[in-house]
Amino acid sequence: MQTLRSFLEGRWASGREPFATLVDPSTEEPLARTSTSGLDFGAALEFARKQGGPLLRELSFAARGALLKAWSKALYDKRDELISLAMKNGGNTRGDAKFDVDGAIGTLAHYAELGAGLGDLHALRDGEAVQLGRTARYSGIHLWVPRDGVAVHINAFNFPAWGTAEKAACALLAGVPIISKPATSTALVAHRLAEIGGEVLPAGTFSFVCGSPGDLLEKLGPQDVVAFTGSSQTAAKLREQLRKRGAKLNVEADSLNAAVLGPDVEPGSATWDLFIQDVVRDMTQKAGQKCTAVRRIFVARARLEAAQEALVERLATIRVGEPARADVTMGPLSTADQLRDVRAGIQKLAAESQAAFGGDGSVKADAPAGKGYFVSPVLFVSQDPRNAKVLHKDEVFGPVATIAASDTPAQLVQKGGGGLVCSVYSDDRDFLRKCVFAVAPYHGRIYLGSEKVVGQTLGPGAVLPQLLHGGPGHAGGGEELGGLRGMQLYSQRVALQGDRALLDAIAPALEKPPAAGGH
Amino acid sequence: MQTLRSFLEGRWASGREPFATLVDPSTEEPLARTSTSGLDFGAALEFARKQGGPLLRELSFAARGALLKAWSKALYDKRDELISLAMKNGGNTRGDAKFDVDGAIGTLAHYAELGAGLGDLHALRDGEAVQLGRTARYSGIHLWVPRDGVAVHINAFNFPAWGTAEKAACALLAGVPIISKPATSTALVAHRLAEIGGEVLPAGTFSFVCGSPGDLLEKLGPQDVVAFTGSSQTAAKLREQLRKRGAKLNVEADSLNAAVLGPDVEPGSATWDLFIQDVVRDMTQKAGQKCTAVRRIFVARARLEAAQEALVERLATIRVGEPARADVTMGPLSTADQLRDVRAGIQKLAAESQAAFGGDGSVKADAPAGKGYFVSPVLFVSQDPRNAKVLHKDEVFGPVATIAASDTPAQLVQKGGGGLVCSVYSDDRDFLRKCVFAVAPYHGRIYLGSEKVVGQTLGPGAVLPQLLHGGPGHAGGGEELGGLRGMQLYSQRVALQGDRALLDAIAPALEKPPAAGGH
């Protein structure tokens, strides 16, 4: 059995007993083991701060972008291998695995391009210069400069490739060295990604922790950043832990993302079909293990029956089973813990709603017997969404969603307490305007599904490097990606005031805004 | 004796016994009393959320700006009265009082103008639209939308007018109702400001808590914001308290702001004179009770003697005494607690440094005997700034600073652990570039003092509405002001994706960026 290693101080090193075991979630067979016991995280942090930080800050944005491009290309060369690993260790179908691996390659390439667009600059201006004195000679500018610390990335089990890459791309382009820690259970893909990254990224700019983070977080200070993706419970612990250290924390947590169908959308219309297709994709892609997946579906009262019927019909075509089989469209959950949690979540939902599909989540026909973390897609119907408790509070991180009728859907959406994404399907501008502004303070992203964008979108669950990823409240309050905005987490915004010519000499403005930056 | 009141649910109301007493810090005579005991903060929050929030969000930026303009004008009409109150209750000289009151009037006027520039819009775009699909039809935009909550403003004792106004301007323009709480000890000015504001601002958009906040903070939720200015100790308590409530917290805390004199600056040059003038102003304006005041002064070894001599010479001309007297240039500290803390701080500094002026802070000649919170300006010299502990850690919030020689000043500046502002005096671009980028990650603002800006600047201690105010680490990690950036604290940034024409219809872009926005 392969023993995975960590990459610290520019060297690969294995931990000591006890080891954690990684398994194939379809067969429960052990695939690899890992440990960080005995590794020196203090030395790793110092190495990153002393070697990686100064090295990156010396590089222009274009040079940092070139590193990302090299990593992206190297990953592309190993794409098939990475996809195989994701299928094995993550329980991904080939489509799911491509979604993760291609997401990683594409995000790195996107940030490489943004870096190229910023050229020789070392710090990014925020907005225009502003006159402060009687004459324009005395002026002020705002700059984003790299923090003088380390970025610790704690990724979730569901996107070992994409999660690692999206965080790394933003931090490295911003000029901050990273220490990347994947979820142990699905670390096989991230480990390979790190092996490839370790060959193209200069020593100290990239480190990799494969297993428990030990005392790593206790050694952080106010110039450091932790970017965490995972559960609200772990996020709360991190918040408490880092509050005393002063390190900046970005949380991207679970959320109860809603899909809203406008009352104008007729069954069978293009917008209707987009809605049905998006919801079913979001429920079943990666077996619903996406923090952006649709969990709550709100439709006008008159549309409930038709929508429920259409969703059930599509869910019935999903084939659950071993993801390597070509006819299988949904693999298992990724871990035994996930299976336990999802089953418990289904039970809680069942106490206040009726099952319209999938009942208790047990797989009837297609799944292999006995082994593997398989679960059926489940659709619940809530008769009383205004007073439902579980519906708006407990995310079931699997192929599970609840549909309900409502004539005031925005109020129900708000009850989720903050989400990563809300999707609104309508071609009625007044409805859209009202709904969008009512739910906007509660979200990091809103997807407008209309007939005009049919055939162009990947659905609300796809996280794009151009748009912000994160959300307020329940979703953790974080912000990642969003083009150049993604660098802000790793930067200090500082105002400079003084002689205008001096400011322009010290920190030149970008001649031409980058096309893809959206900034 | 006047009993101050709070403004809640659109009505003025007094609290019950026990009352806190406000005094004249020159004479220690009681001026007024206040209490919030028995007031219903839960109802006040609900009123602000239900009445004030929707009302503000319905208004365009221009209409919100018009409210700020009306308040600014009404304050201007009462300027002399406000200045008198500041002199009486704050121990301000007339110059100090004008700095505070005119700061309030000017900041409201500045944000009124920004609002006018944004015209009919209700939400502000962040950056340009970006293409997401194969064609530009499928695009994304980012928007700043007002949070669906209340902004609680907790202000410090030193700027009762300006502090109230700068926070109010940003929140109201962003579209979020406010509950403003001044420091009780100097609340007389803020109380008058609120009385005037209560007459021009619509019910529910502005509330005022005069005294203890009681259980106000325990009733906040994830859509609410607390903006706090004050000590690191109180900030730490707030952080703990609000972490469980999920409300957003912005902290603007004390910091050990440094002034750096470049080795190129010759004694007697224009830049030298600017440096001396700025440092002495910052030390003595408002008796050093400015969170942006210079606390640490680092000069090249060859310049130490001359700089120390020049500062001492200027400090000797400061006349400490009752601020109403025309020949007095520095009034007392604002409270008995401040006097106790400043004296304790001077003692701690004296244990590791030598006094070059003012010794133990006791006032020799000009101050009235017996009564009042007077203290002399004090300048310390540190012989070993690299190993000094108190120097880089404990801010003495009075007319106290320490000078030291260093050939690596940026490293010493960093030892402060994060500050609101750092000033660098030099005409050498290479020195400036290196120094600025070394200290930038540790600051919210950097002031470049050079011969080119002599006569135009108000020194590093003046907070301008155009530039960010706040700083990382020790300074609390907050961001306020900075033109339109000041609205970000009160807003959610949300990405919208969909049909481009639909996005433009729902959330139009600004036709022409506002001149003064710097955004």
Chain segment A333-371, per-residue pLDDT in tens:
999 999 999 999 999 999 999 999 998 878 865 556 688
What band does B192 get if pLDDT is binned at 50, 70 and 90? very high
Taking residues A314-321, what's their average pLDDT? 96
pLDDT digits (tens, 9 = 90+) for A201-239: 999 999 999 999 999 999 999 999 999 999 989 999 999
pLDDT of residue B517: 46
Q: How far is A142 from chain B (nearest CA, A)?
A: 8
The nearest alpha carbon in chain B to A125 belongs to B519
Residue among B443, B453, B468 minimizing CB distance to A137:
B453
pLDDT of residue B362: 84
The secondary structure of A424-474 as a DSSP string is EE-S-HHHHHHHHHHHGGGEEEEEEE-GGGTTT---TTPPPTTSEE--SGG
Taking residues A192-204, what's their average pLDDT? 97
Interatomic CA distance for residues B409 and B386, integer angstroms: 10
Q: What is the DSSP letter of B286?
A: G
| Half-sphere exposure at residue B114, Cβ-oriented, CA atoms within 13 angstroms | 27
On whether any CB of chain B is under 8 Å from the CB of A133, the answer is yes
Taking residues B167-177, what's their average pLDDT? 98
In B104-189 the beta strands, taken as DSSP E runs, fall at 124-125, 130-131, 138-146, 151-154, 178-181
With a CB-CB cutoff of 8 Å, which residues 233-272 of chain B face chain A?
239-240, 243, 246, 248
Answer whether residue B193 shows pLDDT above 60.
Answer: yes
Answer whether residue A518 shows pLDDT above 70.
Answer: no
One-letter amino acid at B275 equals: F
Answer whether residue B368 shows pLDDT above 80.
Answer: no
pLDDT of residue A78: 98
Burial (CB count <10 Å: 0-12, 13-18, 19+), residue A9: middle
Other CB atoms within 10 Å distance of the CB of residue B237: 11
One-letter amino acid at B264 equals: D
Tell me what percent of the residues of chain B surpass a pLDDT of 90: 93
Buried b (16+ CB within 10 A) or exposed e, A76-90: bebeeebbbbbbbbb
pLDDT digits (tens, 9 = 90+) for A475-500: 999 999 999 999 999 999 999 999 99
Residue among B130, B146, B449 minimizing CB distance to A441:
B146
- Do residues A88 and A28 lie in contact, with contact meaning Cβ atoms separated by under 8 Å? no
Answer whether residue B515 shows pLDDT above 90.
Answer: no
With a CB-CB cutoff of 8 Å, which residues 82-111 of chain A face chain B?
none
- Checking DSSP bridges between strand B124-125 and strand B138-146, what pairing results, if any? antiparallel
Residue among B443, B493, B501 minimizing CB distance to A479:
B493
Interatomic CA distance for residues A240 and A221, integer angstroms: 14
With a CB-CB cutoff of 8 Å, which residues 323-382 of chain A face chain B?
none
The secondary structure of B432-473 as a DSSP string is HHHHHHHHGGGEEEEEEE-GGGTTT---TTPPPTTSEE--SG
User: Which residue matches tokens 């323009």?
Assistant: B173
Q: Which residues of B are catalytic?
A: 252, 291
Decide if B472 and A223 are in contact by the 8 Å CB cutoff. yes
What's the distance, CA B102 to chain centroid? 14
Chain B residue numbers with beta carbons less than 8 Å from the beta carbon of A492 are 440-444, 472
Taking residues B310-323, what's their average pLDDT? 96
**CA distances for B498 relative to A140, B131, B388, angstroms:** 36, 10, 58
Taking residues B29-54, what's their average pLDDT? 98
What band does B256 get if pLDDT is binned at 50, 70 and 90? very high
pLDDT digits (tens, 9 = 90+) for B344-363: 999 999 999 999 999 887 88
CA torsion through residues B333, B339, B343, B349, sign: negative
pLDDT digits (tens, 9 = 90+) for A53-81: 999 999 999 999 999 999 999 999 999 99
pLDDT of residue B363: 82
What value does the CA radius of gyration of chain B take, rounded to a whole number of Å? 23
Decide if A493 and B502 are in contact by the 8 Å CB cutoff. no
Answer whether residue A515 shows pLDDT above 90.
Answer: no
pLDDT digits (tens, 9 = 90+) for B55-73: 999 999 999 999 999 999 9
Chain A residue numbers with beta carbons less than 8 Å from the beta carbon of B127 are 483, 485, 517-519
Buried b (16+ CB within 10 A) or exposed e, A419-431: bbbbbbbbbeeeb
User: Looking at this predicted complex, what is its ipTM?
Assistant: 0.96
Answer whether residue B101 shows pLDDT above 60.
Answer: yes
Q: What is the helix (H) or strand (E) element at residue A418, kind and residue range?
A: none
Answer whether residue A159 shows pLDDT above 90.
Answer: yes
Chain A residue numbers with beta carbons less than 8 Å from the beta carbon of B239 are 243
Decide if A442 and B223 are in contact by the 8 Å CB cutoff. yes
- Do residues A174 and A146 lie in contact, with contact meaning Cβ atoms separated by under 8 Å? yes
Residue among A146, A453, A503 minimizing CB distance to B138:
A453
- Do residues A37 and A242 lie in contact, with contact meaning Cβ atoms separated by under 8 Å? no
Q: How far is B353 from chain A (nearest CA, A)?
A: 27
The rounded mean pLDDT for chain B is 95
Interatomic CA distance for residues A414 and A393, integer angstroms: 11
Tell me what percent of the residues of chain A surpass a pLDDT of 70: 97
What band does A432 get if pLDDT is binned at 50, 70 and 90? very high
Lookup: tokens for A261? 């169908």
Give the distance between the most distant pair of CA atoms in chain B.
80
The secondary structure of B289-318 as a DSSP string is --TTS--EEEE-GGGHHHHHHHHHHHHTT-
On whether any CB of chain B is under 8 Å from the CB of A492, the answer is yes
pLDDT of residue A516: 47
pLDDT digits (tens, 9 = 90+) for B111-167: 999 999 999 999 999 999 999 988 889 999 999 999 999 999 999 999 999 999 999
Catalytic residue among A166, A252, A395, A480, which?
A: A252
User: Which residue matches tokens 């609120």?
Assistant: B194
pLDDT of residue B370: 80
In the beta sheet, which residues pair with residue A258? A296, A422
- Checking DSSP bridges between strand A138-146 and strand A151-154, what pairing results, if any? unpaired
Rounded to the nearest 10°, the torsion over CA A395, A399, A400, A405 is: 110
pLDDT of residue A377: 97
Percent of chain A that is helix, strand, coil (3-state, to 5): 40, 20, 40
Interatomic CA distance for residues A188 and A210, integer angstroms: 9
